[in-house]
Chains A and B, each alone.
Chain A
Amino acid sequence: MIVARDDTLVIRNPDDVVRVRQEVRARAVAAGFGLVDQTKIVTAASELARNTLDYGGGGKARIEVVQNGARKGLRLTFEDQGPGIPDVELALKDGYTTGGGLGLGLSGARRLSNEFQIHSVVGEGTRVTIARWK
């Protein structure tokens, strides 16, 4: 797999979440994603960026444009050094929230992506990687 472009954005405040959305949108357009695919990956990015900010206390978003043979895609990695998630399986359940949300961010982002990985260690932080192919 070839990485054609690789950008990292800092997530420290709500404006940064907006910036992540805009950057992911721009990369998705450039990669030739259709409107529905753009909307799905930007929405997933918005959910994960907000989690990074709200629960992880801020962190980073890495946006990679990847190419696997003829397939183009986007790979997004959200990483924080926050408290971590004690029970990842539970956190991935629809409706589970510790922050008074709808509990749809993680599970929804997984549904909106073709690939989804989460790695979280209590006391160390959380890393979520998603990919969506054109």
Chain B
Amino acid sequence: MDRIPILKLGRALLVTVQVDMHDRLAMALEEDLSAKIVTTGARGVLIDISGLEIVDSFMGRMLDTIAAVSRLLDADTVVVGMRPAVAITLVELGLSLNGVKTALDVDRGMALITGDYGHASEGSEDLEDSDDRGEG
């Protein structure tokens, strides 16, 4: 069976959710992620859904569950890259994703996890400084 790759990115785990993920794959991801949080001691999980054309209640519940499990394992979950049309549709669907943090892109999501908020806003506002931010 296919599995969704989980990448280690500093102190976080990065998962890129592809278009039209099958149910079985979603379930496997929940298990793989919880195991990997424990083995790597990751402080956060970034879930990149920029490739997702829709988020329905099944997917929403999966994101909620991942966030809840991660929290118990002392890791934050940040969903990044939600498309505007998906956000509009989610609100009408009634899915608030209350337990999940969101960020516009992976960089900002990463900043949420490392607690480096100032860095994130600097990156978005002071574009002319972006060359000598001394990242990493």
Contacts and interface: CB of A to CB of B under 8 A. Distances in A.
Contact of B89 (A43, A94, A101, A105): A43
B60 interface: yes
Contacts of A39: 53-54, 83, 85-86, 88-89
Contacts of B2: none
A101 B92 contact: no
A43 B23 contact: no
A36 to B, nearest CB: 5
Most buried by A among B57, B83, B92: B57
Nearest to B26: A14
B92 A112 contact: yes
Contacts, number: 67
Contact of A94 (B22, B24, B53, B94): B94
B94 to A, nearest CB: 5
B94 A42 contact: no
Contact of A108 (B61, B86, B92): B92
Nearest to A35: B85
B14 to A, nearest CB: 24
Given A43-B54, A102-B61, A111 B92 contact: yes
Contact of A22 (B20, B60, B94): B20
A21 B95 CA distance: 19
A88 interface: no
Interface residues of A, number: 25
A35 B56 CA distance: 16
Given A15-B22, A40-B89, A111-B93, A50 B56 contact: yes
Nearest to A17: B23
Most buried by A among B53, B55, B86: B53
A19 to B, nearest CB: 9
Contact of B53 (A42, A104, A107): A42
Contact of A102 (B83, B88, B89, B95): B95
Contact of B94 (A21, A38, A50, A107): A107
A107 B58 CA distance: 14
B57 A47 contact: yes
Interface string A42-60: 1100110010000000000
Given A104-B93, A105-B57, 14 more contacts: A18-B22, A21-B20, A36-B85, A36-B88, A38-B85, A39-B85, A40-B88, A40-B89, A43-B54, A94-B94, A101-B57, A104-B57, A104-B60, A111-B94
